[in-house]
Structure 1
Amino acid sequence: MFGTTLCDSPGSVTVDNWGTARGDIFKFNKPIGVPRCEAHNVRADGEEYSFADGKTYWFGWDSMTKTGDAQTVFQWKSNGTNDQNAQNYPVLMKVEDGKLKVWYVAPGEKWISIGTAPWSPGEWHSIQLGITTSSAESGTLAVYMDGTRIASRSDARTWDDRGNKPRWGTYWGTDDSTASINWIDGLKMGTTRADVG
């Protein structure tokens, strides 16, 4: 269901099957020497999905990281690069210091922490994210982890000039000195939380 993968060798995006009821699961493996291992966008009817301003989207997935420090595990990433963006990533989640941390990143690279929750490595966590897109400042977002709302924001700019798409995986920015793994299962997309629960 992912659109495209971004993972430099020897990093890899593979499918694991541990012989459990989960069946096939995606493994994002970022070894030392690689800054990122991600997948971006989702596919619908064989094509990458085209998101739009003024819409509500919900995403649901299960995630398990090898350690409590997998860094960026989700971005609502803006299209384009560098000065083409007013916001590089309006919504960002990190697994850091044994916690899931959620930020709204406003124009001008203003990082605003909107929620955090304890994260247990080696255990599956259920995540639902709802975003109402807005190129003005009337967007909203909400994040649930394991059934509990841990973050929300209103009056947010959640749609950049060239649009946005979701990214999952493990991303360390310019730091390629640490290895990390993020497994993802059961990715769903809809227009309500019930669609992805």
Structure 2
Amino acid sequence: MQHSVAPGTSRLALFSRSGSRPRRGRLFVPTALAAALSLVLATPAHATVEWNGDADNGGTAVFDSILCDSPSYVYQPDWADGRGKIFGFTKAVGSERCEGHGVAGHTLTSGRTYWFGWESMTKTGNAQTVFQWKSWGTAEEQEQNYPVIMKVEDSRLKIWYVAPGEQWISAGSVAWTPGTWNKIELGIDARTSTSGSFALYVNGQLVVDRQNARTWDLKGNVPRWGSYGSTIVGVESVHWVDGLKMGTTRADVD
């Protein structure tokens, strides 16, 4: 699908890969504007992967912690399909969550851009929350519990911007087929004011380009992957994740 670039397209969508043009088509940006945007993103000319979160790179030690309510668990199968080991976040019957929390060995900060890439597959079309850009601290220490959240619900991947005051604002959605791998690329420009933004590509298609978003809470944020949902306590939910990466540009995690 070809996507034209609208006048209001965000920095993340425009500079989703190394260089000054989007993934598809050509966009000619005035030199002064291109330089200014490059400074805002602070993207090195030769950026590399900052974090390799693949299951073959140390198993669950790639996360800061594993948050699985008993009897939920994470397993690491190798299906001999060329992927090697993958993560299987299994939210068992009777529990609310099984998630991998944070990126081990890295302290995330505001005022910069993070790109996360991975492949994702769920057992059902109702795995509920499969990704959170989760805020640190308790409810009293937060203004946003999860500024960016992704859910698999009704066989669709739904993406939300959750503004201060628990304002859920739909950012976009795309069809989701259980039992099928999907390539996810998520870029977050982490800002304490509403000058932040985030962009999401699913299987190479631009699904979300959200601007004017507050994407960094009072104590900061970290990513979480897995399956979480108080509405699905009575059923098993499995979310398989492969090839997790973090970098400064979309090209790093492509």
TM-score bin, normalised by smaller chain: over 0.9
Structure 1 distance, partners of 2:142, 2:93, is 29
Alignment-derived partner of residue 119 in structure 1: 176
Is residue 119 of structure 2 the alignment partner of residue 62 of structure 1?
yes
Structure 1 distance, partners of 2:189, 2:220, is 13
Alignment-derived partner of residue 165 in structure 1: 222
Shift of 1:2: 2.1
Shift of 1:81: 1.2
What pairs with 1:155-194 in structure 2 (closer than 5 Å)? 155-173=212-230, 175-194=232-251
1:135-161 Cα offsets, whole Å, 9 max, x none, are 011001001100001112111100000
Residue in structure 2 matching 1:131, options 161, 168, 188: 188
Deviates more, 1:168-177 or 1:80-89: 168-177
Is residue 220 of structure 2 the alignment partner of residue 152 of structure 1?
no
Aligned residue type for 1:140: S
Give the match's secondary structure for 1:17.
coil
Q: Which has the higher helix share?
A: 2
Alignment-derived partner of residue 4 in structure 1: 65
Structure 2 distance, partners of 1:175, 1:150, is 26
Alignment-derived partner of residue 21 in structure 1: 82
Aligned residue type for 1:130: G
**4+ residue segments displaced more than 3 Å:** none
% same residue: 56
Alignment-derived partner of residue 79 in structure 1: 136
Deviates more, 1:6-15 or 1:174-183: 174-183
Residue in structure 1 matching 2:93, options 32, 37, 41: 32
Aligned residue type for 1:108: G
Aligned residue type for 1:20: D
Give the match's secondary structure for 1:194.
helix
Aligned residue type for 1:4: S
TM-score by length of 2: 0.75
Shift of 1:175: 4.8
Aligned residue type for 2:228: Y
Q: Which runs of 5+ in 1 are unaligned?
A: none
TM-score by length of 1: 0.96
Shift of 1:3: 2.1
Aligned residue type for 2:137: G
Give the match's secondary structure for 2:71.
coil
1:2-53 Cα offsets, whole Å, 9 max, x none, are 221000221101111111100100000011101000011112xxx2x21111
Higher-Rg structure is 2
Q: Which has the higher strand share?
A: 1
Structure 2 distance, partners of 1:16, 1:2, is 17
Alignment-derived partner of residue 140 in structure 1: 197
Alignment-derived partner of residue 57 in structure 2: none
